[in-house]
Amino acid sequence: MRKIELMVFDFDGTLVYSGDDLTNAVNHTLRKLGIPVLDKKKIIGFVGDGVVKLIERSLGEEYRGRFDEAMGLFRAHYAEHLLDTTALYPGVSDVLEHFRDTKKLIITNKVYDYTLRILEALGIAGYFEEVIGVDSFPTMKPDRELLIPLLERYGVGKTDTVVIGDGINDILLARNAGTLSCALLNGLGDRERLLSLGPDDCCEDIAELKELFV
């Protein structure tokens, strides 16, 4: 087991399953625009780089000129429906309680307001020192400049910090910043792509963090 002073969590696909609400919001947007809807797996594959990329990828080249309209429709719908089915992954509350005395942050490419609303509704906001959304700073994952100042702020070393997430941006953020990485393989991210990056640790289930870190 490794002694860790700071745990940096991803959000979607790591702490919460939000795939259905995101899929529904995207397809609601496409329907309103008169554009053919997409299957769930395809939309989930677009998640991870923020809402701008999600909408760009969902529209594709053919409909890229309708981006502004699509963003307005998506934001309005998702703001009303982001908690329809989104829920904590099994074991999340137990893990957060287990590491209650360890500093914990969230760094996500999701909008800050959406993230905070979900955290508060699901009762886990109090476990985190800070929540960093895609609109919190000029940079976003996997830019190392997002994480390095936080290490300095909380007085922790790179090798005493682990980034935990289900996306390639989480593993790349850790690599770029020189911290440890832990890939969650049961989230929204592509399992094989995660493994191909060679993370320091892998988990099939978030509960395994209790056996990896202390």
Which residues form the catalytic set? 10
Could you tell me if 212 and 181 are in contact, meaning their C-beta atoms sit under 8 angstroms apart?
Answer: no
CA distance linking residue 25 with residue 84, whole number of Å: 11
Could you tell me if 189 and 167 are in contact, meaning their C-beta atoms sit under 8 angstroms apart?
Answer: yes
The conformation of residue 61, written as its DSSP 8-state character, comes to G
Which residue do the tokens 């259905």 mark?
20
How long a stretch of residues is the chain?
Answer: 214
Q: What's the token pair of residue 108?
A: 């996500």
Q: What's the token pair of residue 197?
A: 């990056």
Q: How far, in whole angstroms, is CA 47 from its chain's centroid? A: 9
Strand-strand pairing, 87-88 and 16-17: antiparallel
